[in-house]
């Protein structure tokens, strides 16, 4: 297979690139779980075929590919810890295995940033609430995501609050 050509349009600002990286990370984590694919395979697929690629319908957004890869790698490295944090943040009746797979991917990506980066927790929460809003525009899930991520952030980095 040949690679799809990357778009060479003007680059978006840093914040837009970071936001797109987070959305792609959630999509990649969802795909890894749903299709039982390795992180390396999915990261390579996104880099070659999804991020900043021209299609007949338009161009997919550019992203901070380093941030995208760091989130996916950190999620794989810290998944057990992240899932435990998420379980503690969820109501006892709703362990992480029972929640929507997109939300599970979102909590894992956000957890990876809370555990494996120096991004301030309030920024992580804000960014992933925006990601939730992109996936679930009716708004109910965004409030749930905000509450769970707040709990996870206080668990992972209590000194930041």
Instruction: Spell out the domain ranges in the chain.
Output: 14-160
Asked if residue 16 has pLDDT above 60, the reply is: yes
Asked if residue 72 has pLDDT above 80, the reply is: yes
pLDDT tens, residue by residue, 78-108? 999 999 999 999 876 677 778 999 999 999 9
At 2 the pLDDT is 46
At 93 the pLDDT is 65
Please spell the DSSP secondary structure of 92-142, one letter per residue.
TT--GGGS-HHHHHHHHHHHHHHHH--S-HHHHHHHHHHHHHHH-TTSHHH
Fold designation for 14-160: N-utilizing Substance Protein B Homolog; Chain A (1.10.940)
pLDDT confidence band for 12 (50 / 70 / 90)? confident
């Amino acid at each position: 297979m040949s690679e799809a050509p990357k778009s060479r349009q003007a680059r978006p600002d840093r914040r837009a690139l970071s936001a797109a990286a987070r959305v792609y990370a959630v999509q990649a984590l969802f795909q890894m779980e749903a299709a039982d694919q390795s992180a390396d395979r999915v990261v390579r697929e996104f880099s070659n075929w999804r991020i900043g690629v021209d299609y007949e319908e338009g161009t997919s957004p550019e992203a901070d590919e380093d941030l995208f890869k760091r989130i996916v790698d950190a999620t794989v490295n810290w998944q057990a810890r992240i899932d435990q944090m998420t379980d503690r943040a969820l109501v006892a009746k709703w362990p992480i295995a029972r929640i929507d797979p997109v939300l599970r991917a979102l909590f894992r990506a956000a957890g990876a940033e809370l555990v494996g980066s120096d991004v301030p927790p309030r920024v992580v929460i804000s960014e992933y609430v925006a990601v939730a809003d992109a996936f679930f525009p009716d708004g109910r899930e965004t409030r749930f995501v905000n509450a769970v991520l707040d709990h996870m952030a206080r668990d992972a980095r209590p000194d930041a609050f």
